């Protein structure tokens, strides 16, 4: 069975609201800045409503990845009337956490979750702004699954295809609103 495709109207909406900033945060990186999209209330609302229509009835909770993923996860969860799972960088969540270390382009990082927040068998949508090397998204899958949830789909606003992030996510549904080849 083929999985449903995000509507192309959402792709156009996002594409027209992204600002490209060369050499940020370091030389030779072309930074894709989502802040113009967030600042346009009509466009931001249209995006969240479009994503809600796409996932309605197929997921039980939305996992947002710190920090730009939070900006998308929270309104989407509210629009759908479901809960948001907060996946944070190391040392930010209080109490007992489960953590996963992962590789960045340079160095390593760690993401953490409160495992009891994820209900057994919950269909979880993982959402973030950018899929680059895929390390962050892969760590999020491991956190959700270790906590008893099902990583039903990953939604990425922007996918930087030349960094091959999808390779780390083989076997999972990855819905990217915009793919930069």
Ligand X SMILES: O=P(O)(O)OC[C@H]1O[C@H](OP(=O)(O)OP(=O)(O)O)[C@H](O)[C@@H]1O
The contact set with ligand ADE (CB under 6 A) reads 29-32, 130, 132, 160
Q: Which is nearer to ligand ADE, 130 or 154 (CB)?
A: 130
**If contact means CB under 5 to 8 A according to the sort of partner, which of ligand X, ligand ADE, none does residue 31 touch?**
ligand ADE
Q: Which 143-172 positions form the footprint of ligand X (CB under 6 A)?
A: 165
Catalytic positions: 68, 105
Q: How far is the CB of 114 from ligand ADE (least distance, A)?
A: 25
10 Å Cβ neighbour count for 58? Answer: 13
What secondary structure does DSSP assign to 114-170, as a single string? Answer: -GGGSPTT-EEEEEEEEESSSHHHHHHHHHHHHTT-EEEEEEEEEEEGGG-GGGGGT
Pair 59, 123: CB distance under 8 Å: yes
Q: Does 100 bind ligand X (CB under 6 A)?
A: no
Only segment of 4-12, 36-44, 118-126, 132-140 that touches ligand X (CB under 6 A)? 132-140
Pair 15, 43: CB distance under 8 Å: no
- Binding footprint of ligand X on the chain (CB under 6 A): 65-68, 128-137, 165
């Amino acid at each position: 069975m083929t999985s449903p495709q995000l509507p192309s109207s959402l792709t156009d909406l996002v594409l027209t609201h992204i600002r490209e900033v060369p050499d940020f945060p370091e030389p030779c990186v072309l930074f894709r800045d989502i802040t113009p999209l967030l600042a346009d209330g009509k466009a931001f609302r249209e995006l969240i409503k479009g994503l809600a229509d796409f996932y309605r009835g197929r997921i039980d909770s939305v996992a947002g990845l710190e920090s730009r993923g939070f900006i998308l996860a929270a309104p989407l969860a509210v629009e759908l009337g479901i809960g948001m799972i907060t996946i944070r960088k190391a040392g930010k969540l209080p109490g007992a956490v489960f953590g996963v270390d992962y590789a960045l382009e340079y160095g390593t990082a760690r993401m953490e979750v409160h495992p009891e927040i994820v209900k057994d068998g919950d269909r979880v949508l993982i959402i973030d702004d950018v899929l680059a090397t895929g390390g962050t998204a892969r760590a999020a899958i491991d956190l959700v699954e270790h906590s008893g949830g099902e990583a039903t789909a990953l939604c990425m606003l922007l996918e930087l295809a030349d960094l091959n992030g999808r390779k780390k996510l083989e076997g999972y549904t990855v819905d990217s609103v915009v793919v930069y080849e």
